[in-house]
Structure 1
Amino acid sequence: MNRGVAVTGIGVLTPGAPGTAGFWETVCGGEPTFRTITAFDPGRFRSRVAAEIDFEPARYGLTPRQLRRMDRAAQFAVVTAREAVAASGLELSALDPGRTGVVVGSAVGCTVSLDREYSVVSDSGRLAVVDPAYATPHLPDYFVPTSLAREVAHDAGAEGPACVVSTGCTSGLDAVAHGVEIIREGGADVMLAGATDAPISPITVACFDAIKATSPDNHDPVGACRPFDGTRSGFVLGEGAAMLVLEELEAARARGARVHAEIRGFASRCNAFHMTGLRPDGAEMAVAIEAALAEARVPAEGIDYINAHGSGTKQNDRHETAAFKRALGPHAYHLPVSSIKSVIGHSLGAIGAIEVAASTLAIEHDRVPPTANLRHPDPECDLDYVPLTARELRVDTVLTVGSGFGGFQSAMVLSAPGRWRS
């Protein structure tokens, strides 16, 4: 049975104003949050711009012991899960813990802590054979990404299914979809599902420098990411997290929950083409979109808005533009499409879950966030990319997509509750 799955709680932490409300205000405001990296000295790198969170752990009630133990990405996940649960109105302590689960997406896991600890045990890279005597006792947790799900589950008292999904930049989208499937198949009543990444570290910046995927426009941090713009030069690295409370739709209604949106369809494909490259025709993403629409039982003409991957690289922007045309036909030319990465950066595995949150909020507020810095449209990207200013319009159904290294292509359809149910 295809049980409806509702989003009843949202927690978001991104650059800009804090919390879910602050996130929505930030992305709709259209003012990029980019700046020269402050987490470390970026002087030796090609790209020295990022979207950093001014994170104050004490504000969120994290204890000194938790801060000592948890990587920055884990801290983000716990904080956003707490916000989502509080917003849902659920009392997790009153539920069967074995029927409450957790799924967390992440592309690079505990990168900040691993980078820091390697520097310590190798004496800043001087030692070829590292000295484990200087390692933190929590180092094993940083090596095992499942510690992210464990931290969220422990904090929430969830004893049901728990796992981490790591599929590159589609991790967040895929993690939410996995949570949906667990509820549909009856494996849990409530799932805390989302993603987290804190990748702003020397090793991550160096990796993206090597393939020239990030923007080198260090002279203009605010304008460095320009999705669908003919002058674009790459993406801006970001950090953040989003966690959602997912419940079976009828159960949520029965308890009087506020249902923000319903997740109706999802599909993922892999192009098996290139480790980082994309075919320009967008075929694999188009197939994922078509499959998600079929599962949702929504026609192409039923989509009101597309939350694009919109990373700001030429190959991605042209790839998904082609995919939208291929999957949606003429309707693609009548749809608003936008990229929130133009405001909060690309937080790798976390961004897919953050974009699910944005899609949900677009439905709830009948508002579409803009694509910042889009002043010189690429002629090959000829759809309506909502440049510069948010747009007020009726939004009942949203398509959100993700594209990841390794050829992963994912698509999800969300709608206002009950929109496509007879």
Structure 2
Amino acid sequence: MRRVVITGLGAVTPLGNDVASTWDGLKSGRSGISRLTTFDCSTFPVRIAGQVTGFAGERGLSRAAGFGLAAAREALADAGEGWRAIPPRERGVAFGGTVGRPELDELTELADRLETGELPRQRTGEVRRREQNTGIAAIARAGDCRGPFVSVSTACAGAAHALGEAMRRIQEGDCRLVLAGGFDALTTWLDVLGFALLRALTSEYDDEPARASRPFDARRSGFVLGEGAVVAVLEDAEHAAARGARVHGELLGYGSTLNAYRITDSPPDGGGAAGAMRKALAESGVEASEVDYVAAHGTGTPGNDLSETRAIKAVFGEHAAALSVSSPKSMTGHLTSAAAGVNLVAAVGALREQLVPPTINLEHPDPELDLDYVPGTARRRPVRTACVNAFAFGGANASFVLGAPR
């Protein structure tokens, strides 16, 4: 079976519009959460989010797809020119994303038209812009990818599932290169209101946005929405070596499970999450004791953080106490379909610099959460292998094991 390596990375996140600034923000513990500006939130119960700033957008694409295309261009440039030697039919795409939502003024116009009996009309460009696959098709054009096309909609696990499915396509010989990752922008009135009504979002720090996202803290009260995209160039290791490509890391194993528990809650025993990690470790051939860092899903909701902690303990046993575990969401907020991509950037950075990014805002220890969550400040330590987690609404779980370049 073919080995799969990462030869390019691109990112657009609340911490910056490229990988370098995103990683710099993660390792320095800088928060990218601020007052919402994507709509008038003055009457909303939640008024903060992790927002992308200084981004011009892409004509004809949704806000989220624009992030994805920009990140894909950076990833392709980072991979160097040698990838072009792979025939287009052996290049694929695999992405997690969500369908775009209508704006409030569009719904108001629609309601007015319906009251008068006038047939509502939609501009073709607007319908196309909101379609999830439009953005993926634009990314495919950027890399002239004419091979496998994988579009995943598994909410907060989308990017992890996309990376895992891309890995499979290369392992099984369907193609030799895949552009993979996730993009999302749920900083809309509808999404903020919906998650707020579910009581999933914290509403306690609207006046102190940088303190709002508090994974694993005893006073955590919900997550903070974010937006952005992360894209990786996954490549057949043999081809990457032949062309002398720089390798960021190797995808060693992938696991996916379903909780079949509740739509919005993880099972208290962490069963589904533990299953995904076990599968990823089994495929990788890596012993649990050889993992040094877990880039945690770590949302900051009471149930998720407890469930993930129990899952890590169940999988790693006594070695769990020696792990470094941190949540990038403490700085970026929850990028939903792109969330696992930010965790990938954290894991790649940790492998490259032997530096684990912190979990910020962890100020009040929770006696039920007793792992090393790297509170406050990044920590230098040997990192040979990392586990990346992503767990979603609906109970979808995905994990993958990332190793340092051989």
* Cα shift readout 1:3-61 (whole Å, capped 9, x = no counterpart): 1100000001101233100000011111211111111111222111101111332xxxx
> Residue 77 of structure 2 aligns with which residue?
86
Measure the CA separation in 2 of the matches of 1:96 and 1:173: 26
Tell me the C-alpha RMSD between the 2 structures.
Answer: 1.7
Deviation at 1:219, TM superposition (A): 2.3
> Residue 189 of structure 1 aligns with which residue?
176
State whether residues 23 and 345 of structure 2, in contact with CA within 8 Å, keep that contact through their aligned partners in structure 1: no
Pick which of 126-135 and 326-335 moved more. Answer: 126-135
The amino acid of 2:36's aligned partner reads I
Specify every segment of 5 or more residues in structure 1 that has no aligned partner in the other structure, as ranges: none
The amino acid of 1:110's aligned partner reads G
Measure the CA separation in 2 of the matches of 1:355 and 1:275: 23
Alignment pair present for 1:119 and 2:105: yes
> Residue 99 of structure 1 aligns with which residue?
90
Deviation at 1:134, TM superposition (A): 5.2
Q: Tell me, what secondary structure is at the counterpart of 2:52?
A: coil
> Residue 210 of structure 2 aligns with which residue?
222
The amino acid of 2:99's aligned partner reads G
Deviation at 1:131, TM superposition (A): 6.0
Alignment pair present for 1:356 and 2:344: yes
Shift in alpha-carbon separation, 1:348–1:370, aligned structure 2, 3 A: same
Aligned to 1:109, which of 99, 104, 108? Answer: 99
Q: Tell me, what secondary structure is at the counterpart of 2:255?
A: strand
Deviation at 1:125, TM superposition (A): 4.4
Shift in alpha-carbon separation, 1:44–1:124, aligned structure 2, 3 A: farther
Specify every segment of 5 or more residues in structure 2 that has no aligned partner in the other structure, as ranges: none
State whether residues 13 and 20 of structure 1, in contact with CA within 8 Å, keep that contact through their aligned partners in structure 2: yes
The amino acid of 1:357's aligned partner reads V
Shift in alpha-carbon separation, 1:351–1:281, aligned structure 2, 3 A: same
State whether residues 104 and 148 of structure 1, in contact with CA within 8 Å, keep that contact through their aligned partners in structure 2: no
State whether residues 92 and 156 of structure 1, in contact with CA within 8 Å, keep that contact through their aligned partners in structure 2: no
4+ runs deviating over 3 angstroms: 91-95, 124-134
Alignment pair present for 1:179 and 2:202: no
Deviation at 1:90, TM superposition (A): 2.8
> Residue 417 of structure 1 aligns with which residue?
405
Alignment of 1:117-156 (within 5 A): 119-120=105-106, 122-123=108-109, 125-128=111-114, 135-156=122-143
> Residue 400 of structure 1 aligns with which residue?
388
Deviation at 1:204, TM superposition (A): 0.3
The amino acid of 1:44's aligned partner reads T
> Residue 376 of structure 2 aligns with which residue?
388
Measure the CA separation in 1 of the matches of 2:214 and 2:143: 39
The amino acid of 2:125's aligned partner reads H
Pick which of 310-319 and 285-294 moved more. Answer: 285-294
* Cα shift readout 1:96-144 (whole Å, capped 9, x = no counterpart): 11111111111x3323xxx22x632641744546966653321332453
Measure the CA separation in 2 of the matches of 1:132 and 1:29: 54
The amino acid of 1:109's aligned partner reads V
Alignment of 1:212-361 (within 5 A): 212-217=199-204, 218-361=206-349
How many percent of aligned residue pairs carry the same amino acid? 38
The amino acid of 1:123's aligned partner reads E
* Cα shift readout 1:134-167 (whole Å, capped 9, x = no counterpart): 5332133245322221110122221111221111
Measure the CA separation in 1 of the matches of 2:86 and 2:79: 13
Deviation at 1:174, TM superposition (A): 0.6
Q: Tell me, what secondary structure is at the counterpart of 1:237?
A: coil
State the aligned residue count: 404
Pick which of 348-357 and 364-373 moved more. Answer: 348-357
State whether residues 11 and 83 of structure 1, in contact with CA within 8 Å, keep that contact through their aligned partners in structure 2: yes
Measure the CA separation in 2 of the matches of 1:132 and 1:362: 55
* Cα shift readout 1:65-91 (whole Å, capped 9, x = no counterpart): x51x11011111110011001001135
State whether residues 82 and 243 of structure 2, in contact with CA within 8 Å, keep that contact through their aligned partners in structure 1: no
State whether residues 309 and 403 of structure 1, in contact with CA within 8 Å, keep that contact through their aligned partners in structure 2: yes
Shift in alpha-carbon separation, 1:125–1:48, aligned structure 2, 3 A: farther
Measure the CA separation in 1 of the matches of 2:324 and 2:399: 17
Deviation at 1:327, TM superposition (A): 0.7
The amino acid of 1:40's aligned partner reads F
State whether residues 82 and 245 of structure 2, in contact with CA within 8 Å, keep that contact through their aligned partners in structure 1: no
Measure the CA separation in 2 of the matches of 1:109 and 1:355: 23
> Residue 47 of structure 1 aligns with which residue?
46
Q: Tell me, what secondary structure is at the counterpart of 1:399?
A: strand
Q: Could you state the TM-score of these two structures normalised by the residue count of structure 1?
A: 0.92
Q: Could you state the TM-score of these two structures normalised by the residue count of structure 2?
A: 0.96
